[in-house]
Structure 1
Amino acid sequence: MLDDTTAFVTGASQGLGREIAVAFADAGANVALAARSDGIYETEELIDEPERTLTVETDVTDSESVADAIEATADEFGGLDCLVNNAGIAGPTAPVERTTDEEWLETLDVNVVGIARAVREASPHLRESDRGSIVNVSSIGGKRPYPNRTPYAASKMGVIGLTRSLAFEFGRDNVTANAICPGPVEGERIRNAFERQAEERGIEFEDAKDDVLDTLAIHELVPPEEVAALAVQLAGSDARHVTGQDINVSSGGAWY
Structure 2
Amino acid sequence: MLEDTTAIVTGASQGIGREIATTLADRGAAVSLAARSDGIYETADKIDHDRVLPVETDVTDEQSVESSIKETVAEFGRLDCIVNNAGIAGPTKPIEEVTRSEWEKTQSVNVTGAFLMVKHAATHLRESDRGRIVNIASISGKRPLENRTPYTASKMAVIGLTRTLAFELGEDDITVNAVCPGATKGPRIQDVIERQAEQLDVSYEEAKRQVFTDDVALGRLTESEDVAEMVAFLASEQGRNVTAQDLNVDAGTVWY
Confirm whether residue 178 of structure 1 aligns to residue 177 of structure 2: yes
- Hey, what's the Cα distance between the residues in 2 that align with 1:145 and 1:28? 38
1:14 is matched with which residue? Answer: 14
1:199 is matched with which residue? Answer: 198
- Hey, what's the Cα distance between the residues in 1 that align with 2:73 and 2:178? 23
Shift of 1:188: 1.1
3-state DSSP of counterpart to 2:92? coil
- Hey, what's the Cα distance between the residues in 2 that align with 1:33 and 1:162? 23
User: What are the residue-to-residue correspondences of 1:140-179 with 2, within 5 Å?
Assistant: 140-179=139-178
User: What are the residue-to-residue correspondences of 1:64-103 with 2, within 5 Å?
Assistant: 64-103=63-102
Shift of 1:88: 0.2
Aligned residues: 255
- Hey, what's the Cα distance between the residues in 1 that align with 2:215 and 2:144? 12
1:125 is matched with which residue? Answer: 124
3-state DSSP of counterpart to 1:24? helix
2:36 is matched with which residue? Answer: 36
After the TM superposition, which parts of structure 1 deviate over 4 Å for at least 4 consecutive aligned residues? none
Shift of 1:187: 1.1
- Hey, what's the Cα distance between the residues in 1 that align with 2:101 and 2:44? 33
User: Structure 1: any 5+ residue segments left out of the alignment?
Assistant: none
Confirm whether residue 237 of structure 1 aligns to residue 254 of structure 2: no
Confirm whether residue 105 of structure 1 aligns to residue 99 of structure 2: no
Deviation by residue 1:68-106 (Cα, 9 ceiling, x = unmatched): 000000110001000000000001000111111111111
Q: Which amino acid aligns with 2:119?
A: R
3-state DSSP of counterpart to 1:47? coil
Q: Which amino acid aligns with 1:24?
A: L
**RMSD of equivalent CA atoms:** 0.7
Q: Which amino acid aligns with 1:147?
A: E
- Hey, what's the Cα distance between the residues in 2 that align with 1:174 and 1:78? 20
- Hey, what's the Cα distance between the residues in 2 that align with 1:197 and 1:230? 28
- Hey, what's the Cα distance between the residues in 2 that align with 1:42 and 1:88? 19
- Provide the identity percentage: 59
Deviation by residue 1:28-53 (Cα, 9 ceiling, x = unmatched): 0000000000000000011132x210
Deviation by residue 1:145-186 (Cα, 9 ceiling, x = unmatched): 211000000000000000000001100000000000000111
- Hey, what's the Cα distance between the residues in 1 that align with 2:202 and 2:143? 22
Q: Which amino acid aligns with 2:197?
A: A
Shift of 1:238: 1.2
Q: Which amino acid aligns with 2:240?
A: R
- Hey, what's the Cα distance between the residues in 2 that align with 1:142 and 1:178? 14
3-state DSSP of counterpart to 2:217? coil
Deviation by residue 1:208-235 (Cα, 9 ceiling, x = unmatched): 1111210111111111111000001001
User: Structure 2: any 5+ residue segments left out of the alignment?
Assistant: none
Shift of 1:201: 1.9
Confirm whether residue 214 of structure 1 aligns to residue 214 of structure 2: yes
- Hey, what's the Cα distance between the residues in 1 that align with 2:15 and 2:59? 17
- Hey, what's the Cα distance between the residues in 2 that align with 1:236 and 1:209? 34
3-state DSSP of counterpart to 2:88? coil
- Hey, what's the Cα distance between the residues in 1 that align with 2:58 and 2:244? 26
1:23 is matched with which residue? Answer: 23
- Hey, what's the Cα distance between the residues in 1 that align with 2:218 and 2:192? 20
Q: Provide TM-score, normalisation by structure 2.
A: 0.98
- Hey, what's the Cα distance between the residues in 2 that align with 1:206 and 1:146? 18
- Hey, what's the Cα distance between the residues in 2 that align with 1:195 and 1:48? 36
- Hey, what's the Cα distance between the residues in 1 that align with 2:235 and 2:42? 24
- Hey, what's the Cα distance between the residues in 2 that align with 1:148 and 1:109? 19
Q: Provide TM-score, normalisation by structure 1.
A: 0.98
- Hey, what's the Cα distance between the residues in 1 that align with 2:77 and 2:121? 13
